[in-house]
Amino acid sequence: MDQLTLMQRLSIPGTTKMVLFVMDGVGGLPGPDGKTELEAAHTPNLDALAARGTTGLSTPARPGVTPGSGPGHVGLFGYDPLDWQIGRGVLEALGIDFDLGPDDLAARGNFATLDADGNILDRRAGRIPSEEGVRLVEKLRKIKLPGVEVFVEPVKEYRFVLVLRGKGLEDGLTETDPQKTGVPPMPVKATRPEAERAAELLNQWIAEARRLLADEPRANGLNLRGIAKVPPIPKMPDIYKMRLGAIATYPMYRGIARLVGMEVLPTGETIESEVETLKAHWDAYDFFFFHVKKTDSYGEDGNFDGKVHVIEEADAALAKVLALEPDVIVVTGDHSTPWALKAHSWHEVPVLLWSRYVRPDGVTAFGERPCMAGGLGHIRHFDLVPLMMAHAGRLTKYGA
């Protein structure tokens, strides 16, 4: 029996409240004074919670594997990210609140600059401003394709989303982006027979788009990437018999949350506004996904101090979350983004679990090294939701 089937079978409704508090990319590496970002941050609330709770280190996908944001969150939400792959186009569409259905094929589009021979000069069209992207998308909306609905939506700067909606559109399609300049975009190809029709339609759309964009000074071309359908992923409300609310300032995370059946709660740009959103909806949901983005952003920038500062801000927010008296809280990240690598990494992510039923483990600070001695040991992301459910009293006994 796979994990989701087991959870679906054991889970029961309840009145307890759970919070999955995610600091994106929180895991790090030692800085100048030998402490990681998390260890260097002044985090009295996290440390106190660690002292009352149990800690460990969690692997998002597999040992050694660096996950993207998709697999990182899919893991946190209780799915094996190797079983459930979410295409880049799907993530991009979900991230702009596009309501993707089962007949939709989504692609991430990038405007590009082509030379007179059709070779790529700039894969990002000189990073045109978002307003220009909106204008170009308006142009592309004129394109019609036989037998399918076509949606084109601006994202940001040179990025847009293309969605074809219709029966019989299957994925298994190559990208057009050659990932380098000096060569032309490639045609979309089907990697399996069922996807042939979609490939034809996409290539037809691209040809018409090229015609419409021909006079543009910078964005006279485009690429399509990560062309995919929504995977038929079982929804968390059905598996766990609960209502889940997602609070995130960035589109992509809201998108992934929506994909697994969470309701996205409107919020502002700051952690403070996210806390207000949590308070406002506290009574209406069983489980909250609370996402802090900027730990990852500063990690990607290699900004040790910036990441430390966001962790401290999240620590202050945590106090307000705890004041709502959740029954279960997990604090962790979707993956590590060590300042020293300026990128996502494969390193395990510190994790902290508290409920009134944990066995405290003697760890009194939340950091990578303290967590090595934690009571949870080395676990996997997709074990966290089952543990939360158990601690919330929402899993019945397995077997007699």
**167 versus 359: smaller Cβ distance to a copy of itself:** 359
Q: Is 64 left (phi over 0), alpha (psi -120 to 50) or beta?
A: left
**66 versus 174: smaller Cβ distance to a copy of itself:** 66
Tokens of 78: 């209780």
Tokens of 116: 């007179």
Residue 304 to residue 3: CA distance in whole angstroms: 37
**The one among 70, 133, 255, 261 contacting a copy of itself by CB under 8 A:** 70
Contact between 61 and a copy of itself per CB under 8 A: yes
What DSSP character marks residue 60?
S
**89 versus 133: smaller Cβ distance to a copy of itself:** 89
Contact between 347 and a copy of itself per CB under 8 A: yes
Contact between 399 and a copy of itself per CB under 8 A: yes
User: Which residues in 130-169 contact a copy of itself (CB under 8 A)?
Assistant: none
Contact between 377 and a copy of itself per CB under 8 A: yes
Compute the least distance from the CB of residue 400 to a copy of itself, in Å: 4
Residue 12 to residue 70: CA distance in whole angstroms: 28
Contact between 386 and a copy of itself per CB under 8 A: yes
Give the number of other CB atoms < 10 A from CB of residue 190.
18
Contact between 85 and a copy of itself per CB under 8 A: yes
Contact between 82 and a copy of itself per CB under 8 A: yes
Contact between 372 and a copy of itself per CB under 8 A: yes
Compute the least distance from the CB of residue 168 to a copy of itself, in Å: 26
Residue 9 to residue 388: CA distance in whole angstroms: 16
Contact between 183 and a copy of itself per CB under 8 A: no
Tokens of 176: 């057009």
**The one among 124, 156, 241, 378 contacting a copy of itself by CB under 8 A:** 378
| 3-class secondary-structure state, position 83 | coil
**The one among 20, 49, 57, 190 contacting a copy of itself by CB under 8 A:** 57
Contact between 357 and a copy of itself per CB under 8 A: yes
Contact between 30 and a copy of itself per CB under 8 A: yes
Only one residue has tokens 């001695």, namely 373
**77 versus 213: smaller Cβ distance to a copy of itself:** 77
Site string for a copy of itself, 218-237 (x = CB under 8 A): --------x-----------
Tokens of 382: 């997709």
Contact between 217 and a copy of itself per CB under 8 A: no
Q: How wide is the angle at C-alpha 335 spanned by C-alphas 333 and 338, nearest 5°?
A: 100
Selected range binding a copy of itself among 96-104, 154-162, 167-175, 342-350, rule: CB under 8 A: 342-350
What is the residue-wise DSSP string for 179-228?
Answer: SSSSSPPPPP-BSSGGGHHHHHHHHHHHHHHHHHHTT-SS-SEEEEEEEE
Residue 173 to residue 164: CA distance in whole angstroms: 13
Contact between 107 and a copy of itself per CB under 8 A: no
Contact between 86 and a copy of itself per CB under 8 A: yes
Closest CA to 386 of 8, 65, 26: 8
Q: Are 253 and 69 in contact (CB under 8 A)?
A: yes
Contact between 383 and a copy of itself per CB under 8 A: yes
Q: Are 395 and 383 in contact (CB under 8 A)?
A: no
Compute the least distance from the CB of residue 207 to a copy of itself, in Å: 26
Q: What radius of gyration, in Å, describes the C-alpha atoms of the chain?
A: 22
| 3-class secondary-structure state, position 194 | helix
Residue 102 to residue 167: CA distance in whole angstroms: 9
Residue 17 to residue 338: CA distance in whole angstroms: 31
Beta bridge partners of 164: 105, 150
**65 versus 134: smaller Cβ distance to a copy of itself:** 65
Q: Which residues bind a copy of itself (CB under 8 A)?
A: 1, 3, 6, 10, 29-30, 36, 57, 61-71, 81-82, 85-88, 91, 226, 338, 340-341, 343-347, 357, 359-362, 368-369, 372-375, 377-379, 383, 386-391, 395-400
